[in-house]
């Protein structure tokens, strides 16, 4: 028994146009033609159509259905495996959407009712962020922002001041800011260099992200990245990329306090074999252990301290380690 296209359409609930389309793309070619040129469908064609419609209801694309029906025919395990992949994709998309909605809800609960401009800006930024980061990564980034926000606003103002004074990127003051900038960014991204590089790439290539929500403007990004490249060129002589991944975080306030304390020792002309010098040197050593997690060498290139302070600490540390004393131990214990 052969069915004309109109009969097949009527009995299956499909449209003639759909059946014609299936024929045109090679998905369901009728087994025969009448003398008048009408399409004629056999029992095997109807069986194939049943498989096609079953997989369509599963959400599979016509191109995927064609691949499944080709060669090995209607192998059940292939259909099930394809459907599992389709469901996995749907679950991933739903999970991603849920994460974005959760972030949006949390933002609404934390602030005032947004106006249309706020909605449009949020939508634009989330679309841009979504090109580079998963919802899980964005949640980590937004959550960790509180760890660096206060210091970040200070650093940004200091960089702008250096730019206004036209300091070159290799100036010691700018290099100190580059160190501080790098340390904050790496701490923000949880030590994930790949995440940090993607964040930087996004800001370089997406002007809409620059200058919003405390983000640096384009000219500041260019200025700081020039300084950072100079610094990285030096660090890479001593550290591999894996070494950089292992670096910990020492707050800028800790380095600043050590710099201030040792400058006072220098002003007072305290010798490097003095108990106060030894305590400062051991404290410096402890900060470096925190920075390198005890797995990397102590490098001058990685230090935010001034050259005179480093020289003083090097000498004091050598003496303190060579001749430890109860007084030194008590002094360092009091400082920590």
Q: How far apart are CA 277 and CA 283, in angstroms?
A: 10
Q: Which residue has the higher pLDDT, 302 or 67?
A: 67
SS3 letters across 216-274? CCHHHHHHHHHHHHHHHHHHCCCCCHHHHHHCCCCCHHHHHHHHHHHHHHHHCCCCCCC
Mean pLDDT of the chain: 75
Q: How far apart are CA 163 and CA 225, in angstroms?
A: 13
The answer to whether the Cα torsion of 136, 138, 143, 145 is positive or negative is positive
Q: What is the pLDDT of residue 21?
A: 92
Q: How far apart are CA 101 and CA 93, in angstroms?
A: 12
- Average pLDDT, stretch 64-82? 66
Q: Which residue has the higher pLDDT, 26 or 203?
A: 26
Q: What is the pLDDT of residue 302?
A: 45
The answer to whether the Cα torsion of 208, 230, 233, 295 is positive or negative is negative
Q: Which residue has the higher pLDDT, 168 or 330?
A: 168
**Within 10 A of 26 (CB to CB), how many other CB atoms are there?**
9
Q: What is the pLDDT of residue 124?
A: 61
Determine the distance from the C-alpha atom of residue 53 to the mean position of all C-alpha atoms in its chain, rounded to a whole number. 42
- Average pLDDT, stretch 276-283? 82
**Within 10 A of 155 (CB to CB), how many other CB atoms are there?**
20
Q: For 11-20, 60-69, 314-323, which range has the lowest pLDDT when averaged over its residues?
A: 314-323
Band (pLDDT 50/70/90 cuts) for residue 166 is very high
Helix (H/G/I), strand (E/B), else coil: 167: coil
Q: How far apart are CA 55 and CA 236, in angstroms?
A: 55
Q: Which of 310, 135, 137, 327 is nearest to 335 (CA)?
A: 327
Yes or no: say if 204 and 221 are a contact pair by the CB < 8 Å rule.
yes
Yes or no: say if 89 and 65 are a contact pair by the CB < 8 Å rule.
no
CATH class of the structural domain 3-75:
mainly alpha
Q: What is the pLDDT of residue 300?
A: 42
Domain ranges of the chain: 3-75, 77-117, 130-235, 252-335
Q: What is the pLDDT of residue 121?
A: 57
For the segment 216-272, what is each residue's pLDDT rounded down to a tens digit? 888 888 898 898 888 777 666 666 666 666 666 667 677 778 888 888 888 888 888
- Tracing tokens 């014609």 back to the chain, one arrives at 20
Helices (H), the chain: 5-12, 16-24, 43-57, 62-69, 76-110, 116-130, 135-164, 172-188, 193-205, 218-235, 241-246, 252-267, 275-292, 307-322, 326-335
E strand or H helix that includes residue 27? none
Q: What is the pLDDT of residue 122?
A: 59
- Average pLDDT, stretch 174-200? 83
- Calculate what percentage of the chain has a pLDDT beyond 70: 66
Q: How far apart are CA 290 and CA 250, in angstroms?
A: 7
Q: How far apart are CA 202 and CA 172, in angstroms?
A: 28
What's the whole-model pTM score? 0.48
Q: What is the pLDDT of residue 35?
A: 83
Q: What is the pLDDT of residue 301?
A: 41
Q: What is the pLDDT of residue 309?
A: 78
Band (pLDDT 50/70/90 cuts) for residue 17 is very high
CA atoms within 13 A on the CB side of 220: 19
Q: What is the pLDDT of residue 276?
A: 85
Max avg pLDDT among 116-120, 210-214, 329-333: 210-214
The partner residues of 41 in beta bridges, in order of sequence, read 3
For the segment 74-102, what is each residue's pLDDT rounded down to a tens digit? 555 666 666 677 667 666 666 666 666 66
Yes or no: say if 47 and 40 are a contact pair by the CB < 8 Å rule.
no
Q: How far apart are CA 286 and CA 270, in angstroms?
A: 21
Max avg pLDDT among 15-29, 31-45, 141-155, 186-200: 15-29
Q: What is the pLDDT of residue 159?
A: 93
Q: What is the pLDDT of residue 324?
A: 53
Q: How far apart are CA 278 and CA 257, in angstroms?
A: 16
Residues with Cβ within 8 Å of 218's Cβ and at least 6 positions away in sequence, in order, are 207, 210, 211
């Amino acid at each position: 028994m052969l069915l004309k296209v109109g009969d097949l359409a009527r009995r299956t609930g499909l449209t003639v146009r759909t059946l014609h389309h299936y024929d045109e793309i090679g998905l369901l070619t009728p087994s025969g033609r009448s003398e008048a040129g009408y399409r004629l469908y056999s029992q095997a064609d109807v069986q194939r159509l049943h498989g096609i419609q079953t997989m369509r209801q599963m959400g599979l694309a016509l191109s995927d259905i064609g691949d499944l029906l080709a060669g090995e025919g209607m192998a059940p395990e292939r259909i099930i495996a394809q459907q599992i992949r389709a469901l996995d994709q749907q679950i991933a998309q739903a999970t991603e959407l849920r994460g974005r909605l959760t972030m949006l809800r949390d933002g609404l609960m934390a602030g005032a009712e947004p106006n249309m401009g706020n909605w449009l800006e949020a939508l634009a930024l989330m679309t841009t962020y979504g090109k580079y980061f998963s919802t899980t990564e964005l949640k980590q980034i937004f959550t960790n922002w509180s760890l660096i926000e206060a210091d970040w606003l200070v650093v940004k103002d200091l960089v702008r001041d250096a730019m206004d004074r036209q300091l070159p990127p290799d100036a010691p003051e700018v290099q100190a800011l580059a160190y501080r900038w790098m340390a904050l960014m790496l701490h923000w991204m949880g030590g994930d260099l790949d995440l940090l590089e993607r964040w930087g790439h996004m800001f370089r290539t997406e002007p809409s992200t620059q200058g919003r929500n405390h983000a640096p403007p384009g000219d500041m990004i260019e200025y700081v990245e020039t300084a950072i490249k100079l610094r990285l060129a030096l660090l890479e002589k001593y550290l591999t990329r894996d070494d950089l991944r292992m670096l910990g975080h020492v707050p800028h306030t800790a380095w600043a306090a050590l710099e201030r304390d040792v400058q006072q020792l220098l002003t007072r002309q305290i010798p490097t074999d003095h108990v106060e010098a030894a305590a400062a040197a051991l404290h410096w050593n402890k900060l470096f252990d925190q920075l390198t997690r005890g797995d990397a060498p102590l490098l001058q290139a990685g230090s935010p301290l001034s050259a005179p302070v480093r020289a003083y600490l090097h000498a004091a540390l050598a003496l303190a380690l060579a001749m430890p004393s109860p007084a030194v131990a008590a002094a360092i214990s009091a400082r920590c």
